[in-house]
Amino acid sequence: MKTTLMRAAVLVALLMLASLTVAQDVPSLIAYMSNQSGNWEIWLVDANSGQQTQLTFNADDDWFPGWSPDGQRIAFMSNATQNLELYAMDADGGNIQRLTSTQTADDWYPAWSPDCTQIAFNSDLSGDNEIYLMNADGSGMTNLSNSGADDQHPTWSPDGQFIAFQSDREDNNLEIYAMDATGANVVRLTDSPSNDGAPVWSPDGQFIAFTSDRDGDNEIYVMSPDGSNVTRITNNNNEDLYPTWSSDGQFIAFQSDRDGDADIYVTRVSGGGAEQRLTDNREDDWAPAWQPALIDSCQ
């Protein structure tokens, strides 16, 4: 009987892992930031094989990767010039291009527009954290949110019409808002006494994943784009942060410190409790960004 139960448990475990295998026609690469090499660099991990690849090799720190819609370029922030500026590179780490040169300000959280032509990002150029927009080559910088509050973490709707973001503009806690891509018509999506942040639109535009501590610790949730139908995805006593969608919308990767340090995990959105750890380093792995579907080139 004991042997039979053990075999059954192993079979269940194998089935759970198989259910987290990304389909062959779905990109399985996830970019993330890690300090496992001594300072913060941009890395890749394959969601199926677990293979990790270091992309940047700088004496300074590189953070918060964001993919171009064709999956060929990665934008990120770096303190190579003392302050934080935005850069972009090929998906293999080559051809690094500096995008911003604000010199006295910090720029971070790059998010490429679905048509490849623009990048939304954070900057404190005006003295507080605002959502800015620029052309993909770094020209034409514009302050979109211009609220005087702490507005951060922009994410585009798949049709390019809206940008969701987190802000403390109405309360002392963070809530999620959405605005037109022009910065007009700001709408509040969440309203809770907790902190709701790090929104990211699903590839089909039907959901927004986000982080919230409304149940006592940070967990991953999803909701409809109007803020309704909030559903909890993860459930543990540790900190789960920075969700990112697979291009087919079936999986969410996120960072979690449930094993003592921050690592990258993946779970199926439909639930079932199966969660797979993708990285296992003694140092921290943060802010995963899943490679989008390989559409026609942005060039």
CATH of the domain at 263: 2.120.10.30
**Pairwise pLDDT comparison (19 vs 207), residue with the higher score:** 207
Q: Summarize the confidence of residues 184-193 as an average pLDDT.
A: 96
Task: Give a yes or no: residue 25 inside a domain.
Answer: no
Tens digits of residue pLDDT in 280-291: 988 999 999 999
Instruction: Provide the CA 153 distance to its chain's centre, in angstroms.
Output: 9
Residue 260 φ then ψ, to 5°: 110, -30
Q: Which domain holds residue 225?
A: 30-290
pLDDT on residue 128: 92
Q: Which of 97-101, 210-214, 232-236, 291-295 has the lowest mean pLDDT?
A: 291-295
Spatial contact of 20 and 13, defined as CB atoms under 8 Å apart: no
All residues at 6 or more sequence positions from 240 whose CB lies less than 8 Å from its CB, including other chains: 211, 218, 219, 220, 234, 254, 255, 256, 258, 265
Sheet holding 196-201, edge to edge: 196-201, 208-212, 219-223, 231-232
Tell me: pLDDT of 6 over 50.
no
Tens digits of residue pLDDT in 44-89: 999 999 999 999 999 999 999 999 999 999 999 999 888 999 999 9
Q: How far apart are CA 24 and CA 149, in angstroms?
A: 43
Task: Give a yes or no: residue 20 inside a domain.
Answer: no
Task: Give a yes or no: residue 6 inside a domain.
Answer: no
Average confidence score pLDDT of the chain: 90
pLDDT on residue 296: 62
What percentage of residues in the chain have a pLDDT greater than 70?
Answer: 90
pLDDT-based confidence at 102, cuts 50/70/90? confident
Tell me: pLDDT of 205 over 50.
yes
Task: Give a yes or no: residue 151 inside a domain.
Answer: yes
pLDDT on residue 136: 96
Can you say whether the dihedral through the CA atoms of 65, 155, 20, 24 is positive or negative? negative
pTM (whole model) above 0.75: yes
pLDDT-based confidence at 295, cuts 50/70/90? low
The candidate with the shortest Cα–Cα distance to 218, out of 186, 266, 176, 256, is: 256
Bridge partner residues of 20 (DSSP): none
pLDDT on residue 268: 93
pLDDT on residue 270: 85
Q: How far apart are CA 156 and CA 164, in angstroms?
A: 6
Gyration radius of the chain's alpha carbons: 19
Task: Give a yes or no: residue 142 inside a domain.
Answer: yes
Task: Give a yes or no: residue 156 inside a domain.
Answer: yes
Task: Give a yes or no: residue 9 inside a domain.
Answer: no
Instruction: Name the domain count of the chain.
Output: 1
Q: How far apart are CA 112 and CA 96, in angstroms?
A: 16
pLDDT-based confidence at 17, cuts 50/70/90? very low
Spatial contact of 29 and 44, defined as CB atoms under 8 Å apart: yes
pLDDT on residue 118: 97
pLDDT on residue 24: 67
Work out the number of other CB atoms within 10 angstroms of the CB of residue 92: 11
Tell me: pLDDT of 7 over 60.
no
Question: What token pair was written down for 134?
Answer: 């620029």
Q: How far apart are CA 118 and CA 265, in angstroms?
A: 29
Q: How far apart are CA 109 and CA 111, in angstroms?
A: 7
Work out the number of other CB atoms within 10 angstroms of the CB of residue 271: 11
